[in-house]
Amino acid sequence: MNLKKIILASFCVGTFFSGIAQNPIVQTYYTADPAPMVYKGTVYVYTSHDEDETVDNFFTMYDWRCYSSDDMVNWTDHGAVASLKDFEWMDKTNGAWAPQAIERNGKFYFYVPIHGEGISVLVSDSPTGPFHDPLGHRLIVDSDDVWTDIDPTVFIDDDGQAYLYWGNPSLFYVKLNEDMISYDPGIGKKGIVPVEMDAESFGESASKDGRHHSNYTEGPWIYKRNDVYYLIYAAGGIPEYIAYSTAPTAEGPWTYKGYIMERAPHLAFTNHPGIIDFKGNSYFFYHDQDLSGGEGFKRSVSVEQFDYNEDGSIPMITPTKEGVKESVANLNPFQKVEAETIAWSEGLKTKTDDTNGVFVTNINNGDFIKVRSVDFAKGAKTFKAHAEALEGGKIEIRLDAKDGLLLGVCEISETENNWQSFTTKTKKQKGVHDLFLVFKGGEGELFNFDFWEFSK
Ligand code: FUB
């Protein structure tokens, strides 16, 4: 099944039969291994990226992508923010596995495992890149086993000490220096500390393969909340559950606390957690295989809102298709909104070029974008779309459903310039609504779409 048909099938199941589908949060690409980061009122989710075409029935992953949201329901695509090509010292073309980014003193440090090549770091002045390689070599390579040095998670403690944890199915950490691109060599084995793992700290091994010393498998995610240090991770071998341990310090000792996400039919054989607090709520990111119709090498990032128990423990979190129910902010349609800001879409891809940055492409008759919680205030007068006509077509501007109230129709027709703004009058409709931009036309790709805006 191609991606377009899979999205359609998934949409039918997710939306028509079980209410509003909001998971997975990206429908234009396969995304995995979510690493959310809150920076200045925005959530950035860094993901690995499963290619549409899987090679040799294995993880096929060439670059890392980034999505951002101010409201937890609409996600703006920032494209591939880093790739294996950023490492000139290395000639691997596959293996861009689970990343995590962190900000320190206005710089963004992006820790990435390259399967079989240890862990490296990239740096940028912006959360969405461009990132560059400050070292010209790996940051961590501790083991000859290609599975060991993967899945970095990074955390800066209140005293400024930064830690990088990683590992499968053993767990290690280094104390990063303040420059975030080197570490203190004076502890452990040349600076690398192996974490003691047993049933008490990480649960009894459910896997009898002799490799696992505890229930911990991979994908650690470390953070601190109310003086407690949390380590969330994939557990139980393959297929993976999500479990967690807590500790009184960032260096342990860890105490096993049990599972927080069980198996579900639409989860992949891997899972990978990320947790944040944002605008007063707590969110749990993970990945599943719903969008690909069950292909474990074509995963998609999803998110659930949850509440900690009063004692600080994490409840069991159920993976749902509905995802985040309430937005934490409304979207202002009276300013430029990137077309790639999407709550749900069908049939679309995004592309990046030097002129437009990221834009929406692969638009065919019947495809659509849904944008949630759009605040029309006292109503809009016009709608403007910045687009490039291909076969040409129309954008139907509708409210609250794909066939909801029609506010207007914006014609996108061929012009002398490739990219142009097209405007149409709209019916005035007050208040907060979900906006549906429904694409109509004949055969073939209708147009490319960069941004839109209403006027009052
Ligand atoms: O995405 C490749 C690998 O699969 C990650 O590094 C693991 O955490 C698992 O999700």
Return the residue whose CA atom lies nearest to atom 4 of ligand 1. Answer: 270
Asked, for residue 315, whether it belongs to a domain, the answer is: no
Rg of the chain on CA atoms, in Å: 22
Q: Considering 133, 157, 179, 200, which one is annotated as catalytic? A: 200
Instruction: Provide CB contacts within 8 A for 270, sequence distance 6+.
Output: 32, 218, 219, 234, 238, 239, 240, 287, 296, 299
Number of folded domains that form the chain: 2
Q: Give every CB contact of residue 306 below 8 A, 6+ residues apart in sequence.
A: 282, 283, 284, 314, 315, 317
Position 7 scores a pLDDT of 42
Q: Is 3 within the bounds of a domain?
A: no
Between β-strands 393-399 and 357-361, what pairing exists: parallel, antiparallel or unpaired? unpaired
Q: Where are the alpha helices (DSSP H) in 188-300?
A: 199-202
Mean pLDDT of 299-318: 98
Select from 360, 343, 412 the least CA-distant residue to 383.
412
User: How crowded is residue 419: how many other Cβ atoms within 10 Å of its Cβ?
Assistant: 15
**What does the pLDDT look like over 359-401, one tens digit per residue?**
999 999 999 999 999 999 999 999 999 999 999 999 999 999 9
Atom of ligand 1 nearest to the CA of 218: 8
Domain end residue (candidates: 306, 328, 353): 306
Q: Please check the confidence at residue 8 and state whether its pLDDT lies above 90.
A: no
Considering the domain architecture, whether residues 345 and 271 belong to the same structural domain is answered as no
Hey, whose CA ends up nearest to atom 8 of ligand 1? 219
Instruction: Give the pLDDT confidence score for residue 384 in this predicted structure.
Output: 98
Name 418's Cβ contacts closer than 8 Å, sequence gap at least 6. Answer: 388
> The whole model's pTM is what?
0.95
Q: What is the mean pLDDT of residues 127-144?
A: 93
CATH code where residue 273 lies: 2.115.10.20
- DSSP 8-state symbol, 287: E
Identify whether residues 302 and 343 lie together within a single domain.
no
Residue 446 confidence (pLDDT): 97
Domain boundary among 264, 284, 306: 306
pLDDT at 277: 98
- Identify the CA nearest to 226 among candidates 287, 277, 151: 277
Q: Residue 398's domain is classified under what CATH number?
A: 2.60.120.260
The helix (run of H) or strand (run of E) holding residue 430 is none
Question: Does residue 12 have a pLDDT over 90?
Answer: no
Average per-residue pLDDT in the chain?
94
DSSP 353: E
For 76-118, write each residue's pLDDT tens digit.
Answer: 999 999 999 999 999 999 999 999 999 999 999 999 999 999 9
248 residue type, one letter: P
DSSP letters, 158-178, are TTS-EEEEE-SSS-EEEEE-T
| Predicted pLDDT at 142 | 78
Cβ of 203 less than 6 Å from ligand 1:
no
At 206 the pLDDT is 77
Domain membership of residue 134 as a residue range:
25-306
pLDDT at site 146: 85
Question: Is the minimum distance from the CB of 148 to ligand 1 under 6 angstroms?
Answer: no
